[in-house]
Chains A and B, each alone.
Chain A
Amino acid sequence: MRRSTPRLAGMAILVTAGLVLAGCSSKSAGGETTASGSATAAGALAITPLVQVDASGKEVKSSGSSAAATPAGKGGAKCSGVSIAMAGALTGANAALGINILNGLTLAVDEHNAANPDCKVEVKQFDTEGDPQKATQVAPQIVSDTSVIGLLGPAFSGETKATGPIFNQADLLSLTASATNPGLTKNGWSNFFRGLGNDNSQGGAIASYLKDTLGYKKVCVVADDSDYGIGLAEVVTQTLGSVADSACAAKVKTGDKDFSATVQIIKDAAPDAVYYGGYYAEAAPLLSQLRSGGVTAAFASGDGSNDPEFVKQAGDAAKDAYLTCPCGPAPDAFATAYKAKFNIAPGVYSVEAYDLGTIILAGIDSGITTRSDLVKFVAGYDGVGLAKSYKWDKTGELASASTWVYQVK
């Protein structure tokens, strides 16, 4: 006891000193503690749309959202006891994506219900947690709810694989706003439609863009261990061909935060660009570690990283990064309405969910009352939404899938 008393006292002095210093510094923090170098606050950076390209990287002109269908429709539609189901991860680690979709759909349905007092459509949300087994428990519940006429979802490719047969046998429309695995449309599910380009179109687009438009000669393709990341990286590698350097094709794990080994591999290869297939949670630290490790190569990633959080996490390192998305930028009016309703900015796939919701609502307004009629309606649909024009081929893929390239500026 005797021996430790002075130490405790010393500790106390240290703490006090610390608090005093804290008091001093917090005063001066505002003006003085600016970052070194080009001292720009990270908040000034934002993901801005650059160009819309097709699968071969050629620029396509935006179809414009002026003629876009609105969920309100003509007004005065009549229906009763109809609901649209939404299935996806609403809780757990992957909830952000599901909530973006749910919000987009809710916005569309609310606008519809306000304009059509005789046709109040309900949104029923089903939480799958993104877990395939959970999804198999949720799916029968959706199918057996007779008021559900169509489903927006499932959100992820894995759960779609697990539940596809259930919805197919029930002939329930399964319209996904986010599952981009190319294999999903090869199962012969007549009820499955994808409201955005799959990984092939997105990966092909960015790869061609990097190779042909930007003229990079050596690209390192890094992938995480998710279905999404692997699939995207595979397509990018294939399209890049000899430009993709297999010596620096690194793999990372979802949840990793330290990428020193990957940085070392990329540094040794000295590429012109790095492509990352995966989500922002890993993309942001990877990019900032690449930059602090002295790698100045251009950085590109897909829609999984296309999130405001990516810029927040990576800070200045995010500058000039290319991010693609089969999703279009949120038009201002949509963004304002969304922000007013949910008090957050629209995220990835919110616009798609809104558009797809609009399509289902248009079907309901046209007097469709059965599930199979709705499937037929969507199969024959051809119209323009906020993000793009929607028309599906026989397999359920969009007839013309375009990809937006964004850049952090």
Chain B
Amino acid sequence: MSVLAVAGGQLLADSVISFDLGALARNFWALTIDGLTYGAIYALVAVGYTLVYGVLRLINFAHSEIFMLGMFGQYATLMLLGFGPSGNAYSEGTMMTIVYLGIAMLGGMAVAGGAAVGLERVAYRPLRKRGAPSLVFLITAIGASFVIQEFVHFVLPKLTGGTLGGVNAQQPIRLVQASDVISFANTSISNIEIVIVVSALTLAFAADVFINRTKFGRGIRAVAQDPVTATLMGVSRERIIMLTFLIGGILAGAAALLYTLRVPSGILYSGGFILGIKAFCAAVLGGIGNLRGALLGGLLLGVMELYGQALFGTEWRDVVAFVLLILVLMFRPTGILGESLGRARA
């Protein structure tokens, strides 16, 4: 264990920032696996940012709230299924747990997907019709973000009699008890981590296939590349835009369920904000507008921030993420894979 102090001025020498290589080396694989788990979730949310950006050149700032609504969606679904908050995890058997999780995920997807499409209709479409400058979209997105957060904060508890929303986080419903499935060296992989990474990668792969292989996907790529020509070629731009928001929302909803598996107490009106920013970072890191870039960026960000956290201390996690972003963009100004939803081979 080597503690090195980075000095900058005589007062900084008092080990203001020290780093601990030992901690990183000791837990390297555990950190990697946990980082991939987070990264997979970032990646799914990042796809939503990247698709919308690719098609509309718009940072959908409210996407983090779509994710947050997805968390509430899956939570409400679980409550409808008869689950209530409990101290311990439910034991429903592997088969049924998977079924319940699947249904909850669909619930989250439905709410998030619906909200994303609704957001597009209410907040963005009227602006598009009026040809507003791009910065205005961003501000509207911020406005929408406020509205959705405050809706869950104040209005939702009134509508649901205090069951959902409000100042406090939802009492967690735990369907899965974390247990180690695979162990090697001093590292173990839990069932939850496997579920998250596998489902996230499957969904990301499905999204990739959808964009690259289906007619709709071709439409999305066409609009991303050249909206005018695409419209002339018979692609309905409005429908494509709606579809883009829908896919982004659905994936955010799926990510929401996976995230609550990992962090059961994170269901809160303000719970999507930081994750959304991280996911946006991931999208930019990989090259915004680029689907595979979002995946790569997400995984990279997830892993690197956990390494950084082990190295410098838990409080430096977000700093590591943002510094990484700045460093990567300094050397690759359009992200690692470059921005190319449209330019990808059809």
Chain A interface (Cβ < 8 Å from any Cβ of B): 1, 3-4, 14-15, 18, 21-22, 25-30, 33-42, 45, 93, 95-96, 225, 250-253, 255, 257-258, 260-262, 264-265, 281, 284-285, 288, 292, 309, 312-313, 315-318
Contacts and interface: CB of A to CB of B under 8 A. Distances in A.
Given A18-B106, A42-B86, A315-B87, 16 more contacts: A21-B103, A22-B82, A35-B86, A35-B91, A36-B177, A42-B85, A251-B313, A253-B315, A257-B169, A257-B268, A258-B266, A281-B168, A285-B263, A292-B178, A315-B85, A316-B87
Interface in B75-93: 80-83, 85-92
Given A36-B177, A309-B168, A313-B171, A41 B87 contact: yes
B314 A257 contact: no
Contacts of A315: 85-88, 171-172
Given A25-B100, A35-B89, A316-B88, A4 B216 contact: yes
B90 A22 contact: no
A93 B315 contact: no
Q: Give me the 10 closest cross-chain CB pairs, A-B, nearest first.
A: A316-B87, A29-B82, A315-B87, A35-B88, A26-B82, A285-B265, A18-B103, A36-B91, A257-B266, A42-B87
B262 A251 contact: no
A32 to B, nearest CB: 9
B171 A42 contact: yes
B27 interface: yes
A262 B314 CA distance: 7
B47 interface: no
Interface of B: 27, 30, 34, 80-83, 85-92, 96, 99-100, 102-103, 106, 167-169, 171-172, 177-178, 214-216, 262-266, 268, 270-271, 274, 306, 309-310, 313-315, 317-318
Contact of B314 (A28, A38, A42, A261): A261
A41 B90 CA distance: 12
19 contacts: A1-B215, A14-B102, A21-B99, A22-B103, A33-B82, A35-B86, A35-B87, A40-B87, A45-B87, A250-B314, A255-B274, A257-B271, A265-B314, A285-B266, A313-B168, A313-B169, A315-B86, A316-B88, A317-B87
A21 B96 CA distance: 9
Contacts of B90: 33-36
A14 B306 contact: no
B34 A260 contact: yes
A264 B27 contact: yes
B245 to A, nearest CB: 17
A309 B171 CA distance: 9
A341 to B, nearest CB: 19
Nearest to B310: A261
A274 B246 CA distance: 45
Specify which of B85, B88, B167 lies most central, judged by the most chain A CB atoms within 10 Å of its CB: B88
A275 B5 CA distance: 27
Specify which of A4, A40, A257 lies most central, judged by the most chain B CB atoms within 10 Å of its CB: A257
B126 to A, nearest CB: 28
Contacts of B318: 253
A259 to B, nearest CB: 8
Contacts of B262: 258
Contacts of B96: 25
Specify which of A27, A39, A93, A313 lies most central, judged by the most chain B CB atoms within 10 Å of its CB: A313
B6 to A, nearest CB: 18
A14 B106 contact: yes
A260 B38 CA distance: 12
Nearest to B179: A292
Contacts of B103: 18, 21-22
Contacts of A41: 86-87
The prevalent SS among residues of A at the interface is helix
B33 to A, nearest CB: 11
A4 B215 CA distance: 9
Specify which of B168, B214, B270 lies most central, judged by the most chain A CB atoms within 10 Å of its CB: B168
Contacts of A29: 81-83
B215 A3 contact: yes
A144 to B, nearest CB: 31
Contact of A36 (B27, B82, B89, B215): B89
A35 B102 CA distance: 20
Given A18-B102, A288-B172, A25 B82 contact: yes
Contacts of A313: 168-169, 171-172, 265
Contacts of B309: 261
B215 to A, nearest CB: 6
B319 to A, nearest CB: 11
A285 to B, nearest CB: 4
Specify which of B263, B309, B310, B313 lies most central, judged by the most chain A CB atoms within 10 Å of its CB: B263
A255 B272 CA distance: 11
B316 to A, nearest CB: 9
A251 B312 CA distance: 11
Contact of B270 (A14, A250, A255): A255
Contact of B265 (A21, A25, A37, A288): A288
Contacts of A318: 87
Contacts of A3: 214-215
A265 B30 CA distance: 13
A96 B215 contact: no
Specify which of A27, A93, A258, A281 lies most central, judged by the most chain B CB atoms within 10 Å of its CB: A258
A37 B215 CA distance: 51
A404 to B, nearest CB: 23
A18 B314 CA distance: 40
Nearest to B265: A285
B265 A257 contact: yes
A39 B274 CA distance: 35
B58 to A, nearest CB: 25
Nearest to B190: A292
A25 B169 contact: no
A93 B167 contact: yes
A22 B89 CA distance: 19
Contacts of A292: 177-178
B30 A37 contact: no
A257 B273 CA distance: 13
A264 to B, nearest CB: 6
Contacts of B263: 257-258, 285
Contacts of A30: 82
Contacts of A25: 81-82, 96, 100
A14 B103 CA distance: 9
A261 B306 contact: yes
Contacts of A45: 87
Contacts of B82: 22, 25-30, 33
